[in-house]
Chains A and B, each alone.
Chain A
Amino acid sequence: MNYVQNTDADRAEMMAAIGVASVDELMAVIPENCRFDGPLPIDPALTEDELFRHLKELASRNISADDHPSFLGAGSYHHFCPALVDNLQQRTEFWTAYTPYQPEASQGTLTTILEWQTMMCRLTGMEVSNASLYDGATSVVESVLMSLRIKRKAKRVVISEGVHPDSIGCLRTYLKNIDIELVTVPLTDGATDWAAITSAIGDTQDVASVVIQSPNFLGVIEKVGALTEAAKAGGALSVVSADPVSLAVLEAPGHKGADIVCGDATGMGNPPWGGGPGVGYLCTRMDNVRQVPARIAGETVDGDGNRAVVLTFQTREQHIRRAKATSNICTSQQLMALRATIWMTLMGKQGFVELGRVNLTRAHRAAHAIAAIDGYELAHPNRPFFNEFAVRTPLPAAEVNRRLLDDHGIIGGYDLARWDESRSHELLIAVTDMNPKEQIDALVAALETIR
């Protein structure tokens, strides 16, 4: 079963038209010295029915949030997704289309990109957004690379240790090859300290950007305005990574002086999918538009004055500029961005705020109840948070998680020992609109027995 439609007769007719007797004659362009005389050492073909059974069996070996309450976040959050998002995304005209390089044949996709850009700018308080990036981690990298294009003489980048470890890890990998120093600034009681940032920047005027994340990896809401001010005072740009759902209740980084706002938007209408495909975003001010990586859609008109959408500022991109492009990125994460766009539409102006407040309310009620259990306490009780918080546990967090799953069927929080070995007795717990009160009650009841 390989989805080829042509029959032997079709092939014979076509080869006669080509003027060859067999496909081997065509394949003779592959020189003898590099032929592979197969068969490929792979398993035999399966039919559609067999495929479904096989994959279903593999899927059944996973333990998923589908049938277990889950309090995992640490950068990826489960959120409610209306059925209409699936229905619309499943229109083949969206998911089997190619990149919209031919605008007359792609107004559907192009219009949704313009909508996405608009919505992301309105959430972040910015003026221009690209069409999306691979994920949150690479959005931080691309933001920093963009800052290096703007501050061409810079030699250093300052980043808070509150930024997601995958983002910092990626940044290290990317910067290694281009001779830029990455300076990390440790957290103070779970938050980034203004004075520490200022001293890391110093007065050498060689810092391209200061990167923070809010809420940060521990769920703590950073003082975004003060930190972007510190960056500006040191002659650096500020990059703020933000979970867009948190912007339902938290002030837009763009209104707090951020130069570039980026992050992971997967949670808006997309399942976490074990890590991907996800979707990242990047927004900035119009002054920086020519340094933005990846696709941007823009509105224009056709010859008759009809409104139309096209990909614009393409001279930034690799297919035109090649070695001098702003980025090597070719694709975006269009289908995930489309889902997010439809999701934001269905939430709407009011529903989005309500959803944010559901997260805030449940997380605070859960934090309060967990902190009241003997042996459990909030790790940073004086820091504000949105939908995630760190909790000190009486037993190693890994042990707490194991007992939660084995004895109570609950997928617990993120074991902070994975982030910092010294924090082996701390769990990072995310509570979202996907965790109704019964689940929170069950978690609290379970933790009461795990001491």
Chain B
Amino acid sequence: MSNATDTPDAAPSTTRTAPKLTADNPPLTIFDISVADRRGVRPPPAGYDDVDPGSVLPDFALRAEAAELPEVGELDTQRHYTRLSSLNFSIANAFYPLGSCTMKYNPLINERVSALPGLANMHPQQTDDQMQGMLEVCWRVEEILKAVSGLHSVSLHPAAGAHGELTSLMVMRAYLDDHDGQNRKVILIPDSAHGTNPASCTMTGFITRELKSDSRGRVDMDDLAAKIGSGDSIAGLMITNPSTLGLFEPNIKNVCDAIHEAGGLVYMDGANMNAILGHTRPGDFGADVMHFNLHKTFSQPHGGGGPGAGPIAVGENLAPYLPVPKIARHEEGGEVRFEIVESADKSIGRTRGYLTSPGVMVRSYTYMRAQGPEGMVAIADNAVINANYLRAKLRDVYRVWVDEPCMHEFVASAKGLPNGIKATDVAKRLIDYGIHPPTVYFPLIVPEAMMIEPTETESKETLDRFIEVMRAIVDECATEEGAEYVKHAPYTRNIGRPDEVRAVKQPKVIV
């Protein structure tokens, strides 16, 4: 058996010959097919006599040995990465009912416009007058986000959802400090929240206190009152609405009012905005600040883990504290001009390089403009219908944690499935059927959680097949033998379940 566990560690990085590759030992990384002196693409010639680095740089600066980058030809590079791509699930080749991630269709027109040379090759240090088109795209995104949030001002600065949370908390901190709230340090967070919420709080010096969910997965109003107490220490609340259970918070207005009465601010995690577009606006139910995940709601491709974008919207009270740089629009005598404002009195400052990620903004802008007002509502309607359809068709075989009409997603539990089958087993078996697993083991308050979000862009046929497969997996587990088989899934990929403990105990984080 050509077992990697029995062979010595892979050759050191300076190996000059490729290891022997066999059917049992396929190449893993590009380094496995690297051969000394092989060339990929030639860089352009200097066009001058070469300047010898030793003649213009001091010895201390000179690189002694060239970095051992791969040495692979162009064709084999193409084959290697094409092969790697074939090992991925993606929206283009599989249904992705991944709760909380909103894996909707990524329209190709967005990609086409994002590659327009007049956009992609803009340099961030160009002056405002040279980037009026780009600034207009960004300003228009701000206007649309204001419209759907019902809030006063938007910043496109944050680079990702969690970064939007962090930036929001900094804005909240600055507002509180400016309003005699220096001692307000406690942020209340429901126990169903994303992990990024408490992590962002820690990074901004806040203290988090967990709010219990009631038996229906909603904020427990008694616990809320108890945790607010006198209210003196309350900085605010971070709430995801609809929640990670896919449930709209029925008391959201009261919850927000209670926080405001205590002198705190309400931050809304906009991860689940897809479900409520055009039906309700966070500004209407009491949010002071929220973030958007453009890569969820507005179809910026997930890219295998980024780039995302996490613009934030705030009420008028928080607007002065938004980060810089920001966009200003001036209109004089019918002429419109956009400006990048680099500093503002009360602003928290910058939290990343440059204004924003225009490459993300242009994709989301194109997506938003394909919708119009009716399209936005249709997104929410169809996302909610699709999720409820799955819930209705699966609830007799999988326990739905809070079995009530849901919004864009619902959480089922694998607890109680026959022969000790766990959520992870269902997830891995789904892979064999060509379906990406749901989000599992989250939210933390549901045992053996499977969080299912179909999005609006899936057809009924796709949903029906998913239902059929989910039911078939339960059937497979009816016998001990069948369950044992499922517990070792998947069988159809280039690897079986990897040993994650070994990856920590014997770490190998570079080749």
Contacts and interface: CB of A to CB of B under 8 A. Distances in A.
B458 A111 contact: no
A51 B119 CA distance: 15
B116 A42 contact: no
B480 interface: no
Interface stretch (B197-205, B219-227, B258-266, B413-421): B197-205
B503 A299 contact: yes
A221 B57 contact: yes
A202 interface: no
Interface stretch (B245-253, B312-320, B471-479): B245-253
A94 interface: yes
A332 B305 contact: yes
Contacts of B305: 98-100, 109, 131, 295, 331-332, 334
Contact of A136 (B37, B71, B253, B353): B353
B162 A98 contact: no
Contact of A27 (B5, B160, B375, B381): B381
Contacts of B231: none
B164 to A, nearest CB: 10
Interface string B487-511: 0101001111111101110111111
Interface in B323-375: 323, 348-360, 362, 365-366, 368-375
**Closest 5 A/B residue pairs (Cβ):** A276-B357, A45-B372, A275-B354, A61-B133, A335-B303
Contacts of A172: 349
A122 B240 CA distance: 42
Given A137-B350, A355-B43, A411-B130, A275 B356 contact: yes
Contact of B30 (A1, A96, A303, A345): A345
Contacts of B391: 18
Interface residues of A, number: 207
B47 A436 contact: yes
A62 B134 contact: yes
B427 to A, nearest CB: 7
Interface residues of B, number: 211
A307 B22 CA distance: 13
A116 to B, nearest CB: 10
Contacts of A225: 60
B40 A329 contact: no
A103 interface: yes
A355 B96 CA distance: 41
Contacts of A276: 124, 159, 307, 352-354, 356-360
Contacts of B250: 29, 31
A1 B379 CA distance: 11
Given A100-B304, A251-B64, A330-B160, A65 B121 contact: yes
A360 B56 contact: yes
Given A45-B375, A105-B436, A117 B510 contact: yes
User: Which has the most chain A C-beta neighbours within 10 Å: B118, B131, B137, B194?
Assistant: B118
Interface stretch (A82-90, A151-159, A204-212): A82-90
Contacts of B82: 88, 91
A351 B42 contact: yes
Contacts of B355: 274-275
B112 A52 contact: yes
Given A51-B370, A115-B29, A331-B161, A82 B41 contact: yes
